[in-house]
Amino acid sequence: MSWPIWEAWVIASIATLSGLAAVVCVILALPGIWLMTIVAALCMWWQPGVISWKAVLTLVILGIISEAIDLFASAAGSKKFGGSKRGALGAIVGTIIGAILGGIFLSVIPVVGWVIGPILGGILGAGAGALMVERGIVNQTWGDSFKSGGGAAAGRAVSIFVKLGLTIVAGSFFVLAAFI
């Protein structure tokens, strides 16, 4: 190794903190894996001998896979239960609002509420957002609107857990990349 070991430890610490921040972002329905990828690119720019462009490219690929799965799961849930494109947009807005409100309202339960609140809120928000748009704007029946909302909630549940898993894998990879 031509670089001091302390640089690897600094970057590994940065990777760990950005990985934790990325998980929080994913829970809040924000692009956490992309935050981590940007941090990795900055670390590569700062110390190219510690973080390689291959490591950053790997994080980009994991991010693309994560987004593709997210879109596929949401689209599949919406399509399977008869949702429209406007209902899917309502589900996205509902996810963000629900994650924030779930975090606020369940924050009274220390630690558990901070994690479960945004996840549960995002899932319920996706369903409520799709239901409200399908019923209020698209003018579907209540039954069809509930089906669409249920599909959006199920799709969001699948996608959030897959994205969390991929973000944890990406974070672990980023930390390991500092030492490889």
Instruction: Please say whether the beta carbons of 175 and 16 come within 8 A.
Output: yes
Q: Is 31 left (phi over 0), alpha (psi -120 to 50) or beta?
A: beta
Average pLDDT for residues 25-52, to the nearest whole number? 85
Domain enclosing residue 97, as ranges: 5-177
* Assigned token pair, 63: 């991010």
Q: pTM (2 decimals)?
A: 0.71
Tens of pLDDT, residues 117-139: 888 888 899 899 999 999 999 88
Name the domain count of the chain: 1
